[in-house]
Structure 1
Amino acid sequence: MTRLLGIHGVRNYKAADTTPGIGAKRLRTDWLAALGSSVPGLELEMAYYADLLRSERQSDELDGTDVVLVEQWARAWGIDPSGVQGRATGWVRYICGQVAQRSGQRPAVVEKTVRMFFPEVARYFATGRIGVLERVTAAMLRHRPDAVVAHSLGSVVAYEALHELADELDVKLLLTLGSPLALPHAVFHRLDPAPRDGLGSRLPGVRRWVNVADVGDFVAVPKGELARVFPGVEELSEISIAPAWPHGVLDYLRHRSVSGAITAANRSM
Structure 2
Amino acid sequence: MSRIVAVHGVNQYDPARGPEEAADRLGAAWARALGHNLPRPLGGNDLAMAYYGDLVHAARPVRGAQGTREDIDQLTPEAVDAVLRWGELLGVSTQEAQGRALAPVRWIADAVARRYGLDHDLVRQFVARFFPDLLAYLHTPARKQVQQRLADAVARQRPRVLIAHSLGSVVAYDTLWQRTDLKVDVLVTIGSPLAMPDVVLPHLQHPGGFRSGSRPPGAAAWINIADPGDLVAVPQPLTDTFRGVTSCLSSGIGAFRMHKAGGYLRSAATAKAVLPYLDRAL
Calculate the TM-score normalised by the size of structure 1: 0.89
Inter-partner Cα distance in structure 2 for 1:205 and 1:232: 12
Question: Which residue of structure 2 aligns with residue 206 of structure 1?
Answer: 219
Bigger mean CA offset, 2-11 vs 101-110 = 101-110
Given that residues 10 and 129 in structure 2 are in contact (C-alpha distance below 8 angstroms), is that contact kept between their aligned partners in structure 1? yes
Aligned residue for 1:239, secondary structure, equals coil
1:113 aligns with 2:116: no
Inter-partner Cα distance in structure 2 for 1:59 and 1:162: 29
Inter-partner Cα distance in structure 2 for 1:156 and 1:3: 21
How many Å apart are 1:195 and its aligned residue? 5.8
Q: Which amino acid aligns with 1:94?
A: W
Matching residue within 230, 233, 246 for 2:242: 230
Question: Which residue of structure 2 aligns with residue 247 of structure 1?
Answer: 259
1:48-197 → structure 2 map (5 Å cutoff) = 48-54=51-57, 55=60, 57=62, 58-61=68-71, 62-84=75-97, 85-89=99-103, 91-127=104-140, 128-166=142-180, 168-193=181-206, 196=209
Bigger mean CA offset, 204-213 vs 253-262 = 204-213
1:22-33 → structure 2 map (5 Å cutoff) = 22-33=21-32
Moved over 4 A (4+): none
Aligned residue for 1:174, secondary structure, equals strand
Q: Deviations over 1:227-246 (max 9, x none)?
A: 11111222212322346x15
Inter-partner Cα distance in structure 1 for 2:195 and 2:13: 25
Question: Which residue of structure 2 aligns with residue 9 of structure 1?
Answer: 9
Distance 1:194 1:185, change over 3 A: farther
Unmatched tracts of structure 1, length 5 or more:
none
Q: Deviations over 1:127-178 (max 9, x none)?
A: 1211111111111111111000100000000000111221x23311111111
Q: Which amino acid aligns with 1:36?
A: G
Q: Which amino acid aligns with 2:168?
A: G
Given that residues 6 and 46 in structure 1 are in contact (C-alpha distance below 8 angstroms), is that contact kept between their aligned partners in structure 2? yes
Aligned residue for 1:157, secondary structure, equals helix
Inter-partner Cα distance in structure 1 for 2:168 and 2:76: 22
Inter-partner Cα distance in structure 2 for 1:102 and 1:237: 21
Given that residues 163 and 189 in structure 2 are in contact (C-alpha distance below 8 angstroms), is that contact kept between their aligned partners in structure 1? yes
Aligned residue for 2:133, secondary structure, equals helix
Calculate the TM-score normalised by the size of structure 2: 0.85
How many Å apart are 1:180 and its aligned residue? 0.4
Inter-partner Cα distance in structure 1 for 2:14 and 2:121: 23
Distance 1:197 1:242, change over 3 A: closer
Question: Which residue of structure 1 aligns with residue 65 of structure 2?
Answer: none
Q: Deviations over 1:111-140 (max 9, x none)?
A: 221111000111111212111111111111
Q: Which amino acid aligns with 1:257?
A: A
| RMSD of aligned alpha carbons | 2.2
Given that residues 175 and 211 in structure 1 are in contact (C-alpha distance below 8 angstroms), is that contact kept between their aligned partners in structure 2? yes
Aligned residue for 1:252, secondary structure, equals helix
Aligned residue for 2:234, secondary structure, equals coil
Inter-partner Cα distance in structure 2 for 1:134 and 1:87: 39
Inter-partner Cα distance in structure 1 for 2:100 and 2:152: 43
Aligned length in residues: 263
Q: Which amino acid aligns with 2:35?
A: G
Unmatched tracts of structure 2, length 5 or more:
63-67
Question: Which residue of structure 1 aligns with residue 270 of structure 2?
Answer: 258
How many Å apart are 1:87 and its aligned residue? 4.0
Given that residues 212 and 237 in structure 1 are in contact (C-alpha distance below 8 angstroms), is that contact kept between their aligned partners in structure 2? yes
Inter-partner Cα distance in structure 2 for 1:119 and 1:64: 11
Distance 1:23 1:195, change over 3 A: farther
Aligned residue for 1:201, secondary structure, equals coil
How many Å apart are 1:98 and its aligned residue? 2.8
How many Å apart are 1:204 and its aligned residue? 0.5
Inter-partner Cα distance in structure 2 for 1:8 and 1:195: 27
